[in-house]
Every structure is written in structure tokens, then in C-alpha cells.
């Protein structure tokens, strides 16, 4: 098995300080949290940013400043979000890809998202994939439900996605695929041979799905975007605390965590 890549999704678009008072919001806070996560064993961050009021934004200038501060502090891989927040336009969401980050997310389908809808029309998926090709940015395919794997396969056939792909199975979103063991095994079997994958379990599914991924040879995403608790009713002290637990469990199971450069090699970034 490859070494384990831990991705920290530290900010998200929906979480607030009411959900967890330790949520990083400003570029400086996000950069410091990224360094802590790196020291705890993360090799990648999935990056959302906020405006000065703490609301989600895809403003390229905020991304630029945040990435600059992160790179000042550590060597972690930065994967920008193109999902942004529910209701944002495609043009708004695609902006950070123009900064040529190492990776960016690409959701390959629409999904009910709690009471809302996270809209990804097929023409917009092609637009995002083409833009990532143009800017030389490797996508992480965000899979919220099974059919999204099939859409990714269709994009490979059209030449809009280059293999090997890296998938992230976001499981347990109300409206998306449930975070069960059977579903994770099913998704891992569906993706094209030679792909890499990680799992992001939402809420209480985060830890058990992460433990499955460690055993299956997949990779793991944790962080406040998906889960603000350390255990039932107990808010996590930091994103790094969630990363540290995964690194510890993986170590106990004989699976070392990847450094950012090792992760770059596993993902074909270098």
C-alpha cells in the first residue's frame, strides 16, 4: 500500500463559529491551521476561504493571499475548492483555478445538499474540466453519489480528464450517498483501475470511514468542513487534532503517513 495521504478540509463553506468556535476564517488563521495540520501529519489541504465578514467567497485575491501565507509557513499541497458554496455561479467558483494551484476539486454531478441543491450541470462540469486542463491543474473528483463516477468516466473518454484520476468520496451528506461500509467498498470498486481515492465522511461517519480507508489502501480527508466534533457532542479543539488522530490510528495499523512530497509522487504531481 502507498503511504497514507491525509487531507485537511479545515474551513468549508457552511460551517460557522457557532458550530465550532475554533474554525479558522481569516487568511492568517487558515495558514496557521494549515501548518498545524502539516505538523500533525496532513500532506494536503482542501481550501475554502471567507470574506472579512466570515462568509464564503471564491474571490481570487483572497485565495491568492491565503495561499501565499500558507506557502510561507509550510510545504503542504494546496487543493482549492471549485465547489464554493451552494448558489454560487460557475464563473465565481472557477476563479482560484487561474492561480494554478497544484490541485482543485471537480464535482461531477448535482446533489441534494440538506435543504439546498449543489448544482453541477453537465456543461459546467465540462467547463471546469477544460479550465483545469488549460491551467495544468490536477482535479480531485468529488463524488457525492454513485453516478458521479460514471460521469468522470465519460469525461475521460472525451479527453477532458487525464488518467490516473484521484477521487474523493464525500459520504453522508444529507441527500447524497450514505456513509456506510458497503457503499465505500462499492465506490472503490467502481473507479477506473490505477485511480487513487480518499474518503470524506460527514459527521459521525468520518472516523469509521477513515479507518476503513486506512485498511483498504485509500486515503483520508478530515476537518471541520465535514465534521466539527472529536467525539459525540465534544467539539474538536482544532483541525490538527482530527488529523493527529488519523495519523496515530494509521501508524498503529502499520500505515505511515505521506509527507507532502511523497503525496505529490503518489498523486503524480511531480
In the complex, which residues of this chain contact ligand KMH (CB under 6 A)? 13-14, 81-83, 85-86, 105, 107, 113, 118, 142
Smallest separation (angstroms) from Zn ion to the CB of 11: 8
**79 makes contact with Zn ion (CB under 5 A):** no
Q: Which stretch binds Zn ion (CB under 5 A): 82-90, 145-153, 190-198, 243-251?
A: 82-90
Closer of 170 and 255 to Zn ion (Cβ): 170
Distance in angstroms (rounded) separating the CA atoms of residues 141 and 214: 19
Closer of 176 and 218 to ligand KMH (Cβ): 176
- Residue 85 binds which one of Zn ion, ligand KMH, none, with CB within 5 to 8 A depending on kind? ligand KMH
Smallest separation (angstroms) from ligand KMH to the CB of 252: 30
Closer of 36 and 168 to ligand KMH (Cβ): 168
Are 64 and 99 within 8 A, CB to CB? yes
**81 makes contact with Zn ion (CB under 5 A):** yes
Q: Grid cell 509557513 — which residue?
A: 73
Burial of 121 (0-12, 13-18, 19+ CB in 10 A): exposed
- Residue 66 binds which one of Zn ion, ligand KMH, none, with CB within 5 to 8 A depending on kind? none
- Residue 113 binds which one of Zn ion, ligand KMH, none, with CB within 5 to 8 A depending on kind? ligand KMH
User: Quick one: which H or E segment has residue 143?
Assistant: strand 138-143
41: Cβ contacts below 8 Å, ≥ 6 apart: 6, 243, 244, 246, 247, 257
Distance in angstroms (rounded) separating the CA atoms of residues 81 and 190: 24
Burial of 53 (0-12, 13-18, 19+ CB in 10 A): exposed
Are 109 and 103 within 8 A, CB to CB? no
Are 144 and 82 within 8 A, CB to CB? no
Closer of 142 and 244 to ligand KMH (Cβ): 142
Smallest separation (angstroms) from ligand KMH to the CB of 155: 16
Interface with Zn ion in residues 191-250 (CB under 5 A):
none
Identify the three-state secondary structure at position 163: coil
Query: By Cβ distance, which residue is nearest to ligand KMH?
Result: 83
Are 40 and 243 within 8 A, CB to CB? yes
**DSSP symbol at 166:** E
- Residue 118 binds which one of ligand KMH, Zn ion, none, with CB within 5 to 8 A depending on kind? ligand KMH
Smallest separation (angstroms) from ligand KMH to the CB of 249: 25
Site residues (CB under 5 A) for Zn ion?
81, 83
Amino acid at each position: 500500500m502507498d503511504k497514507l495521504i491525509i487531507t485537511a478540509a479545515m474551513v468549508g463553506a457552511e460551517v460557522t463559529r457557532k458550530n465550532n468556535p475554533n474554525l479558522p476564517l481569516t487568511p492568517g488563521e487558515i495558514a496557521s491551521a494549515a501548518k498545524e495540520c502539516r505538523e500533525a501529519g496532513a500532506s494536503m489541504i482542501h481550501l475554502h476561504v471567507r470574506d472579512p465578514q466570515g462568509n464564503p467567497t471564491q474571490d481570487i485575491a483572497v485565495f491568492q493571499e491565503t495561499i501565499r501565507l500558507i506557502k510561507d509557513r509550510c510545504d503542504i499541497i494546496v487543493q482549492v475548492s471549485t465547489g464554493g458554496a451552494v448558489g454560487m455561479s460557475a464563473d465565481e467558483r472557477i476563479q482560484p483555478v487561474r492561480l494554478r494551484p497544484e490541485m482543485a476539486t471537480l464535482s461531477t454531478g448535482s446533489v441534494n445538499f440538506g435543504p439546498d441543491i449543489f448544482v453541477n450541470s453537465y456543461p459546467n462540469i465540462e467547463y471546469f474540466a477544460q479550465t483545469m486542463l488549460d491551467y495544468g491543474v490536477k482535479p480531485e473528483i468529488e463524488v457525492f453519489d454513485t453516478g458521479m463516477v460514471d460521469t468522470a468516466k465519460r469525461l475521460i473518454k472525451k479527453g477532458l480528464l487525464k488518467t490516473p484520476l484521484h477521487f474523493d468520496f464525500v459520504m453522508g451528506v444529507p441527500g447524497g450517498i450514505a456513509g456506510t461500509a458497503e457503499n465505500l467498498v462499492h465506490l472503490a470498486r467502481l473507479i477506473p483501475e490505477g485511480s487513487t481515492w480518499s474518503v470524506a465522511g460527514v459527521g459521525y461517519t468520518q472516523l469509521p470511514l477513515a479507518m476503513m480507508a486506512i485498511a483498504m489502501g485509500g486515503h483520508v480527508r478530515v476537518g471541520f468542513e465535514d465534521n466539527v466534533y472529536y467525539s459525540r457532542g465534544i467539539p474538536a479543539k482544532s483541525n490538527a487534532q482530527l488529523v493527529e488522530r488519523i495519523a496515530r490510528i494509521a501508524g498503529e495499523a502499520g500505515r505511515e503517513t505521506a509527507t507532502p512530497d511523497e503525496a505529490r509522487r503518489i498523486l503524480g504531481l511531480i
